[in-house]
Amino acid sequence: MNPAWLPKILPVTGLLSGISGVTQAVDTDVIVTTDQYTDAFITIREGDTVTWRGVGEDALAHQVVALDDHAGLFSSGAPTTDPFEFSWTFHAAGFYVYGCNPHLPEQRGFVAVQPDDSGLPIDARFEGAWYDPAAPGQGIFVDVDDASKRVFLGWFTFGPEGQRWLTAEGPFTDNHATLTVFESTGGRFLEDTPVETRRVGVASLSFPACDRATFRFALNDEGLSDTVAFTPIYFPAGCVGPGM
């Protein structure tokens, strides 16, 4: 399980568009500024490269170092106040947390590396309920909008305080969806009480086969990240059996 990235998350950039299952390596830039990384969360694929550029505009020393489960994997070197450039190519799928040691825990960033596999093109046939056989009572309900190329899902899961009201939404291109996770709190049935919805994490969704969904997520409030394999309650249209 990986701790969270920088709480102040800026818009996602550097999303990769897969074309007919064939991908090319992509370079993504992240600017290191006074107290943050300009893109605290980015999504790439295996074989892609991220380049961090320190602008050296203040008296604070900065760096880029891998943290948590991948501590020691990469480092830009000692913190410096000078402009610097550091690149790293990610060859394995997973979630990577990085940061600046002098400014932890505030200055963190996050890289989600998607597997460079073909998978099945996402479309409306995958709509419906999916469950986790290893966790009875938990799962997702998927809605696919082919026109806007976006996925919305309701996530049925539990935390220390009981059931959580989680949703996720985002674009898909070919065989991967990149999602923002939200949590809603407050509100009571048939009562006029306010509901607060806030961004709490990121996720991705893909379908290796018509009867399998791979859901990768990272939640910043509890420092949780994992990969879950979901199975459909009913086979999607045209899916005649497992693995088809």
User: Which amino acid is residue 62, in one-letter code?
Assistant: H
Rounded mean pLDDT, 216-224:
73
Q: Check whether residue 46 and residue 72 sit in a common domain.
A: yes
Q: What percent of the chain has pLDDT over 90?
A: 39
94 backbone φψ class: left, alpha, beta (φ>0; ψ -120 to 50): left
pLDDT value, residue 150: 97
**140 occurs within a structural domain:** yes
pLDDT digits (tens, 9 = 90+) for 143-180: 999 999 999 999 998 877 778 899 999 999 888 898 88
In terms of average pLDDT, the best of 31-45, 85-99, 226-240 is 85-99
pLDDT value, residue 117: 65
CATH number at residue 138: 2.40.160
Query: Is this structure's pTM higher than 0.85?
Result: no
CA distance 38 to 4: 16
**238 occurs within a structural domain:** no
Q: Tell which wins on pLDDT, 240 or 16.
A: 240
Rounded mean pLDDT, 5-28:
41
pLDDT digits (tens, 9 = 90+) for 102-150: 988 778 888 888 776 668 999 999 999 999 998 888 899 999 999 999 9
**104 occurs within a structural domain:** yes
**174 occurs within a structural domain:** yes
Rounded mean pLDDT, 180-205:
86
pLDDT value, residue 188: 78
pLDDT value, residue 240: 64
CA angle 161, 167, 169 (to 5 degrees): 155
Q: What percent of the chain has pLDDT over 70?
A: 85
CA distance 94 to 116: 11
**219 occurs within a structural domain:** yes
Q: Tell which wins on pLDDT, 109 or 49.
A: 49
pLDDT value, residue 224: 74
CA distance 111 to 70: 12
How many structural domains comprise the chain?
2
The residue among 90, 114, 138 that closes a domain is 114
CA distance 198 to 220: 11
CA distance 166 to 154: 6
β-bridge pairing 150-159 and 139-145: antiparallel
CATH number at residue 52: 2.60.40.420
Find the domain containing 58 and state its range.
Answer: 27-114
Q: Check whether residue 110 and residue 136 sit in a common domain.
A: no
| Residue 1 banded pLDDT, cuts 50, 70, 90 | very low
| Alpha-carbon distances, residue 10 vs 31, 39, 44, 69 (angstroms) | 12, 6, 16, 23
Q: Tell which wins on pLDDT, 242 or 77.
A: 77
Q: Check whether residue 106 and residue 203 sit in a common domain.
A: no
* Count of Cβ atoms closer than 10 Å to residue 48 Cβ: 24
Q: Check whether residue 143 and residue 73 sit in a common domain.
A: no
Q: Tell which wins on pLDDT, 95 or 32.
A: 32
Residue 238: pLDDT over 50: yes
Q: Check whether residue 87 and residue 175 sit in a common domain.
A: no
ω into residue 136 within 30 of 0, thus cis? no
Q: Check whether residue 130 and residue 109 sit in a common domain.
A: no
